[in-house]
Amino acid sequence: MPMQRYVSSIALLMLVATASILVACNSSSSGSGTEQSDASPYSSACSISFDTYGKGVESGFLIDEYALDEPGLFVIRTREELERFWTKHAAIFFPQPPLPEIDFSQDMLIAVVDTVEPSGGYALCIEALTAAGGEVSVEVRKIRPGPDDIVTDSLTVPYHIITLAKSDMPFVLKIRG
């Protein structure tokens, strides 16, 4: 009976740690700022609204041939760019999930994909998009597990994919944390 209580306690701690990470990421995942009817060009510094399409820690960028040496920013403005990204991102799933339905005449996707991490407890959260100086900063927070955190013992690849109004401006990745 003591062993069952120990296992239950460990499972509860893992659940609480996972929930904490998800709450931290979701607290700002809907974007902020004012809605723009024309996403580019921006006449002055402003925040850009976005919606989360998906986020998680399982991505095809885990496969050696797709693995990244540093966190990557994918700016997806066309169906062809989406197909190239999705082929890699969904490579580990069977069956593969369908391509996102995006109206590329009005919208686009931004994906931030991390490097392969050695365990659970890692996450990427796009917190803001800020247009200034002729470019859009994709502001990302990277969450790492603490030394005493209980995490899964498996390789992970954190990612966050968002949708936003189409823009021709260049996007720059800025990671903190």
User: Does the predicted TM-score (pTM) go above 0.85?
Assistant: no
| pLDDT score at 23 | 42
pLDDT per position as a tens digit, 138-171: 999 999 999 999 999 999 999 999 999 999 999 9
Which spans in the chain are helix H? 2-26, 79-89
CA distance 124 to 160: 6
Concatenating the DSSP letter of every residue in 91-119 gives TT-SSPPPPP---TTTEEEEEEEPPPBSS
Q: Is 160 strand, coil or helix?
A: strand
- Whether residue 124 contacts residue 158, with contact meaning beta carbons closer than 8 Å, is answered with yes
End-to-end Cα distance, the chain:
41
Percent of the chain with pLDDT over 70: 75
- Whether residue 27 contacts residue 55, with contact meaning beta carbons closer than 8 Å, is answered with no
Number of H helices, E strands in the chain: 2, 8
| pLDDT score at 2 | 55
| pLDDT score at 28 | 43
pLDDT per position as a tens digit, 97-136: 999 999 999 999 999 999 999 999 999 999 999 999 999 9
CA distance 159 to 111: 7
Question: What are the structure tokens assigned to 151, written together?
Answer: 């995490």
Nearest to 164 by CA among 51, 27, 46, 37: 51
| pLDDT score at 44 | 59
